[in-house]
Structure 1
Amino acid sequence: MWLICGLGNPERRYIGTRHNAGFAALDLLLHELGDLKLCDTKFQGACVKTRFFEESLLLLKPLTYMNESGRCIAPLSNFYRIPPERIIVISDEIELPPGQIRVRARGSAGGHNGLKSVISCLGTENFPRVRIGVGEKPEYMDLADYVLGKIPPEEEKTMAEAYQEAAEACLDIISKGVDKSMNLHNAKRK
């Protein structure tokens, strides 16, 4: 079984914000895999089970808010006995330009509090992640205000394409392996 987690904040006011890039990409996955709905709530998260490429797949949105995402992901993965190398986490990334994605097999949180929580609760950095570039904050802005701000209209098309590519990258990790997914997706939009 695989677990794909989109990170974000659950309230409606966060829809369309940079910090909810993980939720947006997961929404596309739900649509592509058959208009699935997150209806099962377990361990402070909304999830649904399906199959892809002859694999059982669990899609998850933690409802704990971004900075506590690990409190949902770790118990759920323990319950289903999903090892960290089969947990794919999708998140926003301020170190990448808007619309660029980066696939990694493992790594640090890089200052991302949602990833810090996941790493802390899983007890390892060894899980694949797909990071979606939202761009660096302007110098005059507070980081929280920037990532919780709405994506500007001029970036919406670019970000929609990035969500689509992030969704494809997740499925490529499952069907082709993380290295192949990195080769396919990290070279784009440079």
Structure 2
Amino acid sequence: MDDRWESLFADAETQFEALRRGEVEAEAADRSRREFALVEFVHRLRGAVGAEVEVWLDAEPVRGALVRIGPDWMLLSGEGRREVLVPLAAVSAVAGLPGRTMVPGAGAEVEARLDLRYALRRLARDRIPVRVVLRGGRVTGGTFDRVGRDFVELAEHLPGQVRRAAAVGSIRSIPLGALRAVHAG
């Protein structure tokens, strides 16, 4: 066969292979975009457990290591190992998420029951003093007494005081939707 024909066929094969590779890459990118479109925010966050993140809220940004994710809350470990519970409904944006995403697994049914009320009940049960940031930036502190279906009751007292009847200034009922951050400790 003539070298010109050989060269022509080789050039055509190279062009064909480049087109095929381009189509495969475009199809893979399109499939990846379609699959990512099904990812929920909570699953995106689950892939970031252990990462240092910055969470934007109405009032103040919160920075720390993402410790745990519930179906409607996240727990961060901040400065001095202080923990901050953040309802996902209060989050405006999160920076610092790694590229990985966690899809629901075998424990998803149990995780789905460990909602924000569960986390707040743990704080109430253990009588952990808290600083609560509310919608609009208002801050109050005390100890959670009880958690209802869509609200929590906070026994307000000064920081550093133990929750005793004499120390409580008032009992404040707070709708869960008004919570922006709960700083424990």
With normalisation by structure 2, the TM-score equals 0.29
Give 1 or 2 for the bigger CA radius of gyration: 2
Structure of greater relative contact order (alpha carbons < 8 Å, 6+ residues apart):
1
Which protein is richer in helix relative to its size? 1
Which protein is richer in strand relative to its size? 2
